[in-house]
Amino acid sequence: MKKLITVILSLTLILALAGCGAQSSTSSSSSSKGDDKKVIKVGASPQPHAEILEKVKPILKKQGYDLQIVQFTDYVTPNKALDSGDIDANFFQHIPYLNEFNKKNNTNLDYVAKVHLEPMGVYSNKIKSLKDLKNGAEIAIPNDPTNGARALKLLAHEGIIKVKSGDLISKLDITENKKNLKFQELDAPQLPRTLTEVDAAVINTNYALQAKLNPLKDAIAIESKDSPYANVIAVKKENKDKPYIKALAKAVNDPSIKKFIQEKYNGSIVPAF
C-alpha cells in the first residue's frame, strides 16, 4: 500500500511539473510573440516626415507590417504620445531636441535610425540679404532650447551676431549685437506667419515647406548640409530591439527612400544615411 501511494504521489508530481513546464513554455512563446506586432503606429509631422513614411509603407507591407501614420503639428505631443505608448515610434525631431526632451521630462526615449537633414533657413518678406537688416530690426526664432540655439548659431555663422560657445545657447548668450537686433521667441509652427510682421524669421524646414517656402530659393541664409541635426526615428528605449522596430528602422533606410528624398526635395532636404 505504501509503495502504491508513493507511486501515485510521484506520478502526480511529474504531471504537475509537466503542466508547469507547458504553462511556462506557452507563456514564453506568448511573450516572444508579443514582442512583435503587425500594426506599427508612427507619429510624424506632415512635411516631410509623413510624406517620407508614405513611401515606407509598401516596403513594410511586403514584410507583413501595416504602417499607420499619425500626424502631429507640434514638437511636444509626439514625444508624450510615444512615452505613453499611444504610438510605437515618431519621426519629427533631431537628436539634440530628443536629448533635451528626455532631460526635461525624465523620459527614456531613444532613436533607431537617422533619416534626413533639414537645413534651417532664414526667411524674410522685407529684405533680400541679412546685410540689409536695419538697426533695431526684429528677428523671430524658435522658442524651444535646441532649435533656438540652432537659429542663433546660424545667425552667428552669417556674421550678424556673436554668441558664446555651447550646445544650448539663448539670446542671453549673445556677446555682440552691433545692430541691436531684437529677438522674438515663438512656437516653431507660428514662425512662417510672422513674416509679415518681423524683419526676418529663422524657420525649420518642415514648417517652411508647409508654408510653401522653398529653402533653396526663398531662404536668404541656410545651414550647411553638414549640419549635425539629423532627423531620426524615435522609440521607447525598451522597444529598440523589438522585431517591428527593427523592421521599421531598416525600411526607412532603404535605398529607395534615399532616392525619393533626393528626387522629391531637390537638395532642400538631404538623406542622412
* 113 belongs to a structural domain: yes
pLDDT attached to residue 224: 81
Mean pLDDT by 10 residues, the chain (273 residues): 44 42 37 73 97 98 98 96 98 95 97 96 97 98 95 96 94 97 97 98 94 94 86 98 98 98 92 94
Identify whether residues 74 and 148 lie together within a single domain. Answer: no
Identify whether residues 72 and 164 lie together within a single domain. Answer: no
pLDDT attached to residue 34: 57
Q: For residue 264, what are the contacts with CB-CB under 8 A and spacing of at least 6? A: 48, 51
- The candidate with the shortest Cα–Cα distance to 183, out of 221, 217, 204, 155, is 155
* 167 belongs to a structural domain: yes
pLDDT attached to residue 26: 35
CA distances from 115 to 64, 154, 155 (A): 22, 22, 26
* 3 belongs to a structural domain: no
- The candidate with the shortest Cα–Cα distance to 226, out of 170, 180, 272, is 272
Identify whether residues 44 and 130 lie together within a single domain. Answer: no
* 128 belongs to a structural domain: yes
pLDDT attached to residue 266: 86
* 5 belongs to a structural domain: no
For residues 90 and 39, what is the distance between their CA atoms, to the nearest angstrom? Answer: 14
Identify whether residues 99 and 168 lie together within a single domain. Answer: no
Identify whether residues 244 and 257 lie together within a single domain. Answer: yes
* 8 belongs to a structural domain: no
Strand spans (E) along the chain: 39-44, 66-71, 89-94, 109-117, 121-123, 138-142, 162-163, 174-176, 182-186, 200-203, 221-222, 230-236, 270-271
Identify whether residues 114 and 135 lie together within a single domain. Answer: no
* 34 belongs to a structural domain: no
Q: Which helix (H) or strand (E) holds 159?
A: none
Question: Length of the chain, please?
Answer: 273
- The candidate with the shortest Cα–Cα distance to 46, out of 219, 225, 189, is 189
Can you state the angle between helices 95-105 and 77-84, rounded to 10 degrees? Answer: 60
pLDDT attached to residue 35: 80
* 74 belongs to a structural domain: yes
Q: Which residue has the cell 517591428?
A: 244
Identify whether residues 44 and 109 lie together within a single domain. Answer: yes
Identify whether residues 75 and 207 lie together within a single domain. Answer: no
Identify whether residues 58 and 93 lie together within a single domain. Answer: yes
pLDDT attached to residue 167: 86
Identify whether residues 104 and 129 lie together within a single domain. Answer: no
pLDDT attached to residue 227: 81
Cell numbers at residue 251, please? 525600411
Give the three-class secondary structure for 129: coil
Give the three-class secondary structure for 237: helix
> CA torsion angle for 43, 49, 51, 57 (degrees, to 10)?
-50
Identify whether residues 113 and 244 lie together within a single domain. Answer: yes
Residue-number span of the structural domain to which 181 is assigned = 121-222
* Its pTM surpasses 0.85: no
Give the three-class secondary structure for 107: coil
- The candidate with the shortest Cα–Cα distance to 67, out of 96, 101, 92, 42, is 42
Instruction: Report H helices in 202-254.
Output: 205-210, 215-218, 243-252
- CATH number reported for the structural domain that contains residue 67 in this entry: 3.40.190.10
Identify whether residues 114 and 143 lie together within a single domain. Answer: no
pLDDT attached to residue 14: 42
Q: How many domains does the chain have?
A: 2
For residues 252 and 2, what is the distance between their CA atoms, to the nearest angstrom? Answer: 69
